[in-house]
Structure 1
Amino acid sequence: METINLGIGDDLPPVDWSTIVERIADGSPPAPDAHNARTTWLTTLNDDGSPHVTAVGALWLDGTFWFQTGAGTKKHHNVERDQRCSIAVSVRDADVVVDGHASRVTDPADVARAAKGWADGGWPAEPDTSGTGITAPFNAPAQGPPPWHVYRIEPRSATVVLGVEPGGLTRFKF
């Protein structure tokens, strides 16, 4: 097995795969108050049509998901070329997948509202000097330097799997 440390540029050690395999096999969920208890996963399409899946600090605003990314990232390249994407999240008692199209948000008022949403959630984002991107004292490794672009996902459909009695599986088309 080849190991590629994607965090080396940030002086992070590689992850121990055997530890992860043990946690998957044990069915270890995150603790309810863990930083990854509500990780959202964004799927975009690579140039060859294959999926690219990455964790994002998504924001729920105006009835849909918003995310931010640096101009040099793969997800930025992918959504600029092909807007189709999906975002997945587990919430209390349900798993949710929203399919839609991502579009860059450049209206200063909308960027400011998104920045405020992230700041209210604990990440001190604010609009950059142009008003069309955001900045903060820190971001996830590999996002590149600020400003970061803001995207809104226009939902086309959603699939929800209810994980408690009576259970349920439902698709919603918008």
Structure 2
Amino acid sequence: MNDPVTTIDSRFSDPDAEPTSWSATREVLENAQITWLTTVRADGRPHVTPLVAVWLDGALHFTTGPEEQKAVNLAANPNVVLTTGRDTWDAGLDVMVEGPARRVTDPELLGRLAAAWRTKWDGQWVYEVGDGVFRNDIGGPALVFAVDPTKVLAFGKGTFSHTRHVPRQGR
């Protein structure tokens, strides 16, 4: 998502609050070390798990093993929420990304994503690309998913603000 429509919700914001800019929101997504993924089980119960994610090309990307609960849930319902931020009340910015998760299998994009993971975590997350998945020496294949946001919420703390970023129509 680039150049979204940005609005502030005055119902949940301090009277003097300004909307959080898209660049500040995107910076939180780009730099987050942990992101929490929420999926929905087939019986409707939520499933929440922490993971590492990469922001690239206007989408938030994450991985999962094909047999993990995340993958099972996504096969039935691709709609997810990814959340990151700080565990403080009076400082920082919390960000929520909502949208459908789609599999990434393109070798060129997977290569760029593998490089992004390696760079973001100083070589601690090293993936090779093969057969439309990530591979490493820790376990089996890792499916890669992208979430193109349908909505991003940014919650400013200290001066409380509730900002909504949505894609522009026609893009």
* TM-score of the aligned structures, taking structure 2 as reference length: 0.70
Question: How does 1:45-60 map onto structure 2 within 5 Å?
Answer: 45-60=40-55
RMSD of equivalent CA atoms? 1.7
Secondary structure of the structure 1 residue equivalent to 2:83: strand
Which residue of structure 2 lines up, in the alignment, with residue 108 of structure 1?
A: 107
Task: Encode CA deviations 1:94-137: one digit per residue, 9 max, x unaligned.
Answer: 0011100000000000111111111112334233332x111223
Which residue of structure 2 lines up, in the alignment, with residue 77 of structure 1?
A: 72
One-letter amino acid matched to 2:63: Q
- Unaligned residue ranges in structure 2 (runs of 5+): 1-31
In structure 2, what is the Cα distance between the partners aligned to 1:38 and 1:124? Answer: 12
One-letter amino acid matched to 2:164: R
In structure 2, what is the Cα distance between the partners aligned to 1:114 and 1:151? Answer: 11
In structure 2, what is the Cα distance between the partners aligned to 1:154 and 1:79? Answer: 15
- Unaligned residue ranges in structure 1 (runs of 5+): 1-36, 139-144
Secondary structure of the structure 2 residue equivalent to 1:65: strand
Q: 2:59 aligns with which of 60, 64, 67?
A: 64
Identity of aligned pairs, percent?
31
Which residue of structure 1 lines up, in the alignment, with residue 18 of structure 2?
A: none
In structure 2, what is the Cα distance between the partners aligned to 1:126 and 1:111? Answer: 9
**Is 1:97 matched up with 2:96?**
yes
In structure 1, what is the Cα distance between the partners aligned to 2:61 and 2:158? Answer: 28
Which residue of structure 1 lines up, in the alignment, with residue 166 of structure 2?
A: 173
One-letter amino acid matched to 2:96: V
Which residue of structure 2 lines up, in the alignment, with residue 151 of structure 1?
A: 145
**Is 1:136 matched up with 2:129?**
no
Which residue of structure 2 lines up, in the alignment, with residue 164 of structure 1?
A: 158
Paired residues of 2:107 and 2:129 also in contact (CA < 8 A):
no
In structure 2, what is the Cα distance between the partners aligned to 1:107 and 1:62? Answer: 14
Shift in alpha-carbon separation, 1:124–1:173, aligned structure 2, 3 A? closer
Task: Encode CA deviations 1:13-39: one digit per residue, 9 max, x unaligned.
Answer: xxxxxxxxxxxxxxxxxxxxxxxx842
* TM-score of the aligned structures, taking structure 1 as reference length: 0.69
One-letter amino acid matched to 1:168: S
Shift in alpha-carbon separation, 1:124–1:160, aligned structure 2, 3 A? closer
> How many residue pairs end up in the alignment?
130
Q: Relative contact order: is structure 1 or structure 2 higher (C-alpha 8 Å, sep ≥ 6)?
A: 2
Which residue of structure 1 lines up, in the alignment, with residue 38 of structure 2?
A: 43
